Amino acid sequence: MPGEAQPPDSVSKSGAPVKQGDVLDGKYVVERVLGVGGMGVVVAARHAQLGSRVALKFLLPEAAADGNVCARFMREAQTVTRLTGEHVARVLDVGTLPTGAPYMVMEYLEGRDLGRILEERGALSVPDAIDYLVQACEAVAQAHAAGVVHRDLKPSNLFVTRGADGSPLIKVLDFGISKAMARGLEDSQLTNTSGFLGSPQYMSPEQIRSAKHVDMRSDIWSLGVILHELLTGRPPFDAQTAGAVLANIIGDSPPPPSALRPEIPRELDAVVARCLEKDVRQRYATVGELVRDIAAFGRPATVVAATKIQKILTQSGLGPDVEALTELAPQPEITGSHPAFVPAPPAAGAQTLGSWEAAHKGAPSKGLLLGLLAGGAVVVVLAVVGIGLAVRGSRAGDSEAKSVEPIVTTAAAATPEPEPVVVPDVAPVVTGEKAPEPLPSAAVGAEDAGPTPVKRPVRSGGGSKGSDIEKLIKDRK
């Protein structure tokens, strides 16, 4: 529970380079551990003079000894400070321990991430799923406008807290492996060729081959995966092993969300399908285009948020002219029976990917349009699956979580009356980097009234494609 005392040595036992009661920089008093991952740890602290609570993010000693990891850690802090929107978890300060290891001071968040909510409650209602995704898209739009590609979007990096008015507020976490498109050589130096950056189930085909050569359309792929999972309770690409997951991403087309939940509008099937086009040229070019096609399925406030996203992109040269902002995708009747729906084409005046790359990188990249996974790339992928910082928040109070709203299965007007959205009351969890979540292996369903939960599959094997990939690794060793 918030503020619950822990044994004095609990912080040091976590592997953190500090202990409970330590005072950093003369003002941050270490209190307790909030989460530990493979390479990092986050602790709660209190400002000695102001009394405000913050989260301190550290590298574990082994990671702190790696200069490249430290450089990426500090680059994350620099990246986040450039993104000032309400949907990005803020970095307030940075510091250095006596050992020379860096740390971040971040805003302290109470709530839970969408990954945890999906594990416990299953699929969300259509309005909730759209509202959450559009909020995330606002943070992503701001990042793209600044020339930054996140590269690790997933439900566990979308944190649900409360806004000033008490309404659900999404915060995008973990820009630790983000890519600044203008960095060029510097970025390639920080991204070692043996490093696997990303979470397998949410990675685009081009990111599987090379994390260095991705653009904002890779984030759009990840947003499509997230949308599918929010609507159905399961990711579109799932298998027993990471190798099989990656093989499915490269070679398979997932079933549409409505195949798992018939009440889902066919229009959203088309949106997910376009996000998950393996040819990057066929995907939405910007998050603005994606939001234009889904905003009508959210609540009225979602359309307002969509307009804000378009303005963010327009100001950076990535979106339509302001005059076109009112021309959002027409408000459809949500009946789940519109297979002929075609997602909106790029808005007039939108900047092309080529001009975006030129603006942020200096010249169009020749390696952006990547084909199928090359055999050599698989060796890199499977040799180091799971790299990254992880922060698993305290699970205290999870039993008090409230269920998501039931999904409306009857035809509804395109602009429904606002429905209250409940944010579960849970122990505080803070921002920070997270390692890829374990591939789910148990069925998860909603406990309260609502849609029939979609079970997460229990996988009995990796499939022949995954086995072939793993065999290839053995042959190359």
- For residue 26, the SS3 value is coil
Asked whether this chain's domains 10-107 and 112-383 adopt the same fold, the reply is no
Please tell me the distance from the alpha carbon of residue 467 to that of residue 25, in angstroms, as a whole number. Answer: 51
- For residue 54, the SS3 value is strand
Torsion of CA 264, 120, 306, 146, to 10 degrees: -130
Which 8-state DSSP code applies to residue 110? B
Please tell me the distance from the alpha carbon of residue 384 to that of residue 391, in angstroms, as a whole number. Answer: 19
Tens-of-pLDDT digits for all 477 residues of the chain? 334 444 445 665 677 888 899 999 999 999 998 888 778 889 999 999 999 999 999 999 888 999 988 998 998 888 888 888 899 999 999 999 999 999 999 999 999 999 999 999 999 999 999 999 999 999 999 999 988 888 889 999 999 999 999 999 999 988 766 555 444 333 333 333 334 556 889 999 999 987 677 899 999 999 999 999 999 999 999 998 999 999 999 999 999 999 999 999 999 999 999 999 999 999 999 999 999 999 999 998 898 999 999 999 998 887 654 333 333 443 444 444 333 344 445 444 444 444 444 444 443 333 333 333 344 443 333 333 333 333 334 333 333 333 333 333 333 334 444 444 444 443 444 444 443 343 333 323 333 333 334 444 434 344 445 555 554 334 434
* Predicted structure pTM score: 0.66
pLDDT of residue 285: 94
At the topology level, CATH places domain 10-107 in Phosphorylase Kinase; domain 1 (3.30.200)
Q: For 427, list phi and psi in degrees, rounded to 5.
A: -65, 155
Q: Give the tokens for residue 163.
A: 């806004």
Homologous superfamily of 112-383 in CATH?
Transferase(Phosphotransferase) domain 1 (1.10.510.10)
pLDDT of residue 79: 85
- For residue 443, the SS3 value is coil
pLDDT of residue 151: 86
List the helix and strand counts (H, then E) for the chain. Answer: 16, 11
**Digit-coded pLDDT (tens) for 428-474:** 444 444 433 433 333 233 333 333 344 444 343 444 455 555 543 34
Domain ranges of the chain: 10-107, 112-383
Active site residues: 152
pLDDT of residue 346: 46
Computed on alpha carbons and rounded to an integer, the radius of gyration of the chain in Å comes to 22
Separation of first and last alpha carbons in the chain = 48
